[in-house]
Amino acid sequence: MTRISIAVGDQHSVSGLLDRPDGARALLVLAHGAGAGMEHPFMAAVAAGLAARRIATLRYQFPFMEAGSKRPDRPALAEAAVRAAVAAATERAPDLPLFAGGKSFGGRMTSQAQAAGPLPGLRGIVFLGFPLHAAGTPSDLRAEHLARVQVPMLFLQGTRDALADLGLLRSVVAGLGTRATLHEIAGADHSFHVPVRSGRTEVQVLDAMLDALAGWMLDIANRHSG
């Protein structure tokens, strides 16, 4: 694993962690959520699990997290960080099919950046829990920009996610047509925790989720190469 520095415009610089396993077949630029940074155990577990599946990752910090603030960046700055991280990934691994996305806020900022102007070379976007609305206030307004995203999208979503009414999300995904795929994780909440009564451990849940993620990425990568 290599720690790198990523310049975000002229005023900000953020940290990144590039993990390229031997025989890597694709690369995912992976953004953290609003409440925890790139080294949170969940983010580390996702990166390690993808490495075991021969998927490289570039995790990175948003400027607010780098500065130790608890208030997420304005969308314009967050989207600039996404663009900078994607550019850094392309520079360091130009041979790998490129994907981007992230946990909650990180995934949404990635899709907003793509909607505002296509990220060069991007094959698809991954959402690890799309934050469709605030808890207790169902709405699909945060998904309006997805109509302008013209690359494949994968939604990995827990069926108990308080930030995404499942009926609303299914409708959003259906409206996006063949560009969007929804993979539901039974019993999981927004952090992909499952109740003990589910009979599954969180390690099993994560493994199944990463199998779906890696399979989706490699299917798209192989379609392009074929």
Q: Is the pLDDT score of 226 beyond 60?
A: no
Q: pTM of whole model > 0.85? A: yes
Q: What is the mean pLDDT of residues 147-159?
A: 96
Q: Are 114 and 99 in contact (CB under 8 A)?
A: no
Write out pLDDT tens, residues 174-199. Answer: 999 999 999 999 999 999 998 888 77
pLDDT at residue 224, as a whole number? 65
| Alpha-carbon gap, residue 26 to 50, rounded angstroms | 10
* Residue 173, helix vs strand vs coil: helix
* CA–CA gap between residue 178 and residue 165 (Å, rounded): 21
Token reading at 111: 């899709």
| Domain formed by 2-225, architecture | 3-Layer(aba) Sandwich (3.40)
Per-residue pLDDT of 91-149, as tens digits, reads: 999 999 999 999 999 999 999 999 999 999 999 999 999 999 988 898 989 999 999 99
The pLDDT of residue 1: 87
Identity of the amino acid at 220: I
Residue 5: exposure state from Cβ atoms within 10 A (0-12, 13-18, ≥19): exposed
Least reliable range by pLDDT among 33-47, 65-79, 85-99, 211-225: 211-225
Cα 20 from Cα 1, distance rounded (Å): 7
Mean pLDDT of the region 24-47:
96
Integer angstrom CA distances of residue 74 from 62, 79, 112: 10, 9, 12
Domain boundaries, the chain: 2-225
Task: Please tell me the predicted confidence (pLDDT) of residue 151.
Answer: 97
Rounded mean pLDDT of the chain? 94
Q: Quickly state the pLDDT bin for 202 (edges 50, 70, 90).
A: confident
Rounded percentage of the chain residues whose pLDDT exceeds 90: 87
Cα-to-chain-centroid distance, residue 159: 18
- In the chain, which residue ranges form alpha helices assigned H by DSSP? 41-52, 63-66, 75-92, 105-116, 166-175, 202-225
The answer to whether the CB of 140 falls within 8 A of the CB of 173 is: no
Average pLDDT rounded to a whole number, residues 72-80: 96
Give φ, ψ of 3 to 5 degrees: -90, 130
Average pLDDT over every residue of 73-82: 96
Three-state DSSP state, 102: strand
pLDDT at 39 exceeding the cut of 80: yes
